Amino acid sequence: MGRLSRPILGFLLLCCLIVAGEAEYLKYKDPKMPIGARIKDLMKRMTLEEKIGQMVQIERTVATPDVMKQYFIGSVLSGGGSVPGPKASAEAWVNLVNGIQKASLSTRLGIPMIYGIDAVHGHSNVYNATIFPHNVGLGVTRDPQLVKKIGEATALEVRATGIPYAFAPCIAVCRDPRWGRCYESYSEDHRIVQLMTEIIPGLQGELPANSKKGVPFVAPGNTKVAACAKHFVGDGGTTKGIDENNTVISMNGLLNIHMPAYYNAISKGVATVMVSYSSWNGKRMHINRDLVTGFLKNKMKFRGFVISDWQGIDRVTSPPHANYSSSVHAGVDAGIDMIMVPFNFTEFIDDLTYQVKNNIIPMSRINDAVQRILRVKFVMGLFEKPLADLSMANQLGSQEHRELAREAVRKSLVLLKNGKYSTAKPFLPLPKKAPKILIAGSHADNLGYQCGGWTITWQGLGGNDLTTGTTILNAVKNTVDPTTQVVYNENPDSNFVKSNKFSYAIVVVGEPPYAEMYGDSSNLTISEPGPSTINNVCGAVKCVVIVISGRPVVIQPYLEKIDALVAAWLPGTEGQGVVDNLFGDYGFTGKLARTWFKTVDQLPMNVGDPHYDPLFPFGFGITTKPAKN
């Protein structure tokens, strides 16, 4: 009897192990299962706490391992300028993101978090990344294939730092250049903005042919990122261009001007949509259920997730955070799925939990939000490959990407004037060989000014120590004949200019960096000492003026003195692209994607308006052929 017991015991043990093994099969972790089945399986395993945790996005500075584990946090972000350390390497970024991710993976269900960052003109928070021209310049190119390549390059650089989610593109239609975010908009014309949504397949990958409308898509592997179309909807149409203000327009106007690019974004499988701080006819978009749920989710069939803007729920009220629990209810009820809290997350979690437990917010709304968030995470392959490695690190600021950025700079320049009088001989291209030339202006040797806001920090920086790149001054020195003497004087007086017998001068002036409401401007002037530099230099020697700005600025008073005028917008790190065209290595091809006004009293003024009387009309731009060497 005793001798029989061992084999029987062994058999019983084997049976137990098989049963235990089968019990351990988790459908949601099986990549062979359809995504719908995986979502369903995971949802039925989740507690209310785990579901609400998925709806929360917090800033990385508060994303400790304990917080990630205790609250089941679904997403983490870097705000503008929030970095692992000064001039942090790709490795430092990967380690930061993986450290947070490991905490998420150690929770009961092991749901990976998704890390997001503003990569609005390249991977712009990160030292040594390629900084592409801001959207205001890219709209000028009217080249969707170029913008798609920029999306591809940006995705590679974002992935190089271990991050799988970018808060881009901004598809606002800026209708008033007084708005501080106008440079984030491709054009005043929705048709150009629609063309430029081609950046989305660049970032995410090409949507498969048989895809259902509205289903999010991110190509598998580690070369693509989830994109975010923002800010839904009407952010570029606020009264007097005041940031986060009220857009007063009929439903017809909203659908014809501000909505069309969202159709394109959704048809290209955009994974997420961010809601705007602004209001539409007095109602805050963050609590506009008719547009967020009724229109975006139900009518347009968007099946990715809707994310709030930074503290967007707090800012429903004035002052912010007044009657917070009411704002939480209104925002979640409106259809926002993921809430960018970003610091005060326990208050949000407590409020939302209370409201669900007391049937103020139905469980169906929570389930809708969580299903959408999980859908994006499954589509991205985050469950299969939650941790990043360093295999992509060499993509950050690669030469190939810098060459692409340089091409984008060349194509985004608009030549507004070429020759003092219409009958005069064209002033550009400039000769590379000249005895002595002058480079002047506050923006000639300032990489930070060239890049603008949303570069390394939220508001951007001045100077040349923020990241790596080429200033316009250095680009000129790289380009002219070795015998040409280049004299740099930031703000020379007229006596200096007259007494030095310069062959010609290049004057580079414009706006200082800014972002969001800090860029709102009622006067749109070139910052001092720009105007005096133009007067001192162009009054004494033949000159080309290059304007570095996030929008058209007041230029009419100086126009007569100027021989040639170039709108270079915010070109980014590759200043060589500006100089390529100046000296005729390439021709000017850019056409204005924004109307250039005479005076600010005319604003708002957009192409097609009855009072249209511009200094340079929409679509204007002098083209030139490359010079024969």
Catalytic residues: 309, 516
Phi/psi at 362 (5° precision): -70, 150
Choose among 200, 125, 220, 158: nearest CA to 392: 158
Tell me the DSSP string of 546-577. Answer: EEE-SS----GGGGGG-SEEEEEE---SBTHH
CA angle (90, 96, 99) in 5-degree steps: 135
Which tokens belong to 269? 């499988």
Amino acid at 523: N
Give the CA distances from residue 91 to residues 46, 84, 126, 264, 568, in Å, rounded to whole numbers and listed in that order: 34, 10, 12, 36, 34
Dist CA 255 CA 294 (whole Å): 14
What CA–CA distance (Å, rounded) separates 393 from 406?
21
- Round to whole Å and give the CA distance between 2 and 5: 5
Tokens of 545: 């003026």
Given a contact cutoff of 8 angstroms between Cβ atoms, the answer to whether 134 and 569 are in contact is yes
| CA pseudo-torsion sign 559, 561, 564, 569 | negative
Nearest CA among 229, 231, 224, 235 for reference residue 214: 229
Say how far apart CA 367 and CA 380 lie, in whole Å.
20
Contact 486, 437 (CB under 8 A): yes
Cis preceding-peptide flag for 319 (omega within 30 of 0)? yes
> CB-hemisphere CA count at 13 Å for 360?
15
Distance between CA atoms of residues 198 and 146, nearest Å: 9
